[in-house]
Structure 1
Amino acid sequence: MKKSLLLGACVASILSFSGCTTIADMAGADSATLNLSAAQGFNKTVQEAQANKTLDTSSSTYRKINNVFKRMTPYADQMNQTGQKFTWQLAVLKSDTVNAYVAPGGKVVFYTGIVNKLNLTDDEIAAVMGHEMTHALEEHSKQKLGAQALTNLAVGIGKSYVGSAGGGLGGAALDLGSQIGVGLPYSRNLENRADYGGLMLMARAGYNPQAAITLWEKMGKLGGAKGSALLSTHPTDSSRIEAMRKNLPAAMQVYNSRK
């Protein structure tokens, strides 16, 4: 009982002092360090994919993803308030896995399965990319790592349990995830922020935000199908889609103003 009270007091005092983002800084996961770690992990992922002949640089799927990537990055840069310049890079991996993520500093990884299995349009690819870019631009991985640091504190004091950070990605991609938090589930609040930011980002880049609804409807139909890595960390449900519908008018206003 005394240990439990001590743990609660310590965690509460730390949270009131700084919050999870600063906790991550204190744990050595500041923005510059995270971005450097992500760049190193991304390079290793690319090298491994090249060796395994799973790096896609020429297919029609790659060209679709790359075209969206190149169109969206200038608008993503306009949203960057991290204080660190992003060096945007894209890797498309040949895999049936339904997954995509953007690591800190602008390292974008797409699996061909998410486009091919869901038959995504350019607008729907932009919805995925906008959502994941927002996670990186708002440094949600940093906040997750801050929360993880608090969990580690709880383990150190209470000796109660050990958390896991597996993302089911495998090889270098899994290493990247364990280093910077990719593959850990985001909180509902961070997911909502990424949904909203993604809508606005794709609208600014000239992609129809309505595609975000059809994307998540497709994801919902996919359900817990094998190979749906994205759904393990970004669960979809009717309330999520309903929240996006409420934000759609603001995004459509931005989209229509470009015409």
Structure 2
Amino acid sequence: MILQTFHRKLFLLSLVVALGGCETVQTTQGGVVGIQREQRMAVSSAAMNQSAQTQYAELMAAERQKGTLNRQATQTARVRTIADRLVAQTSVFRPDARSWKWEVNVISSPEVNAWCMPGGKIAVYTGLIEKLQVTDDELAAVMGHEIAHALREHARERASEQAVAGLGISVLSAALGAGDLGQKGMEYAYMGLLGLPNSRAHETEADRMGVELAARAGYNPEAAISLWQKMGQVGAGEPPKFLSTHPSRSDRMRDLGDYAQRVAPLYQQARQRP
């Protein structure tokens, strides 16, 4: 759920730095949910965070000018309270995250959406809150998922992957004399065989980390299931699984159910805290 304009800027940025080579990193600790996949990065974390900070400031300034930023004080306070409780638990996955310059804002829009840019720049849309009539537990599920994307630096990984692939495709297409049509075919092949499955992996990781963050913050992790049930009721259907960047709804709900049970003891412990 990252903005397309942000991704276009990141792609241009990634092309500049891709020639500097890749590094293999583990951006987060595993947590109870056991996220252990190593990631290949060609884009620096500092460059990503700077780009995100600039883009976020521009977006919030535009919303403020339109009069659509944090219009309802009670609603904004509710979202920020939930975010604060989730952010307080991020150190279980990466200790440095508590010191990020987190920002949380609510945008008045009918869109059912929320996102978290690199470095902890969060936006929640009123359409998500009002159309789904989300409970605090369900809102924590959404925000925990989006925060997990930032903790795992999925946007950085995706930009790195696209940069390396874009350079490789261009070089190979030129070497083979494939022309524009041939290059487009290779781009589609890349997306189908590597690009989209990686996006599904990112979504699954964010789902699993999100339920753990919610549980540790004292929110019922099973709310992630009711949240996606509501999503299904307002959605206009979903693309075929093999073309989707997200897991199918049935697979997602089954996995969320499994991991909600796995982190249930954390939720019970959190509820017993004073």
Structure 2: gaps of 5 or more residues:
1-20, 26-37, 174-182, 189-195, 238-243
From 154, 160, 163, the counterpart of 2:168: 154
Give CA-to-partner distance per residue, 1:168-214, whole Å, 9 cap, x none: xxxxxxxxxxxxxxxx9962211111111000000111001010110
User: Which residue pairs with 1:114 in the alignment?
Assistant: 128
* Cα distance in structure 1, aligned partners of 2:128 and 2:97: 31
Moved over 6 A (4+): none
User: Which residue pairs with 2:15 in the alignment?
Assistant: none
User: Which residue pairs with 1:136 in the alignment?
Assistant: 150
Aligned length: 217
- The Cα of 1:72 is off from its aligned counterpart by 1.7
User: Which residue pairs with 1:249 in the alignment?
Assistant: 261
User: Which residue pairs with 2:211 in the alignment?
Assistant: 199
Contact kept, 8 Å, 1:32 with 1:84, in 2: the verdict is no
From 112, 115, 120, the counterpart of 1:101: 115
* Cα distance in structure 1, aligned partners of 2:142 and 2:97: 24
Contact kept, 8 Å, 1:216 with 1:236, in 2: the verdict is no
TM-score (norm 1): 0.74
Contact kept, 8 Å, 2:90 with 2:98, in 1: the verdict is no
Contact kept, 8 Å, 1:127 with 1:199, in 2: the verdict is yes
User: Which residue pairs with 1:222 in the alignment?
Assistant: 234
User: Which residue pairs with 1:50 in the alignment?
Assistant: 64
- The Cα of 1:129 is off from its aligned counterpart by 0.5
Contact kept, 8 Å, 2:89 with 2:213, in 1: the verdict is yes
- The Cα of 1:82 is off from its aligned counterpart by 6.2
Structure 1: gaps of 5 or more residues:
1-13, 165-183, 226-231
* Cα distance in structure 2, aligned partners of 1:23 and 1:150: 10
* Cα distance in structure 2, aligned partners of 1:38 and 1:131: 18
Alignment pair present for 1:63 and 2:77 = yes
- The Cα of 1:235 is off from its aligned counterpart by 5.6
TM-score (norm 2): 0.71
Q: Secondary structure at the match of 1:187?
A: helix
Q: Which amino acid aligns with 1:90?
A: V
- The Cα of 1:71 is off from its aligned counterpart by 2.0
Alignment pair present for 1:123 and 2:125 = no
Alignment pair present for 1:187 and 2:199 = yes
- The Cα of 1:249 is off from its aligned counterpart by 1.6
* Cα distance in structure 2, aligned partners of 1:185 and 1:46: 32
Q: Which amino acid aligns with 1:213?
A: I
- Residues 63 and 83 (structure 1), Cα distance of their counterparts in 2 relative to 1, 3 Å cut: closer
- Residues 223 and 192 (structure 1), Cα distance of their counterparts in 2 relative to 1, 3 Å cut: same
- The Cα of 1:94 is off from its aligned counterpart by 0.7
- The Cα of 1:87 is off from its aligned counterpart by 0.8
- Residues 140 and 194 (structure 1), Cα distance of their counterparts in 2 relative to 1, 3 Å cut: same
What's the RMSD between the two structures over aligned residues? 2.9
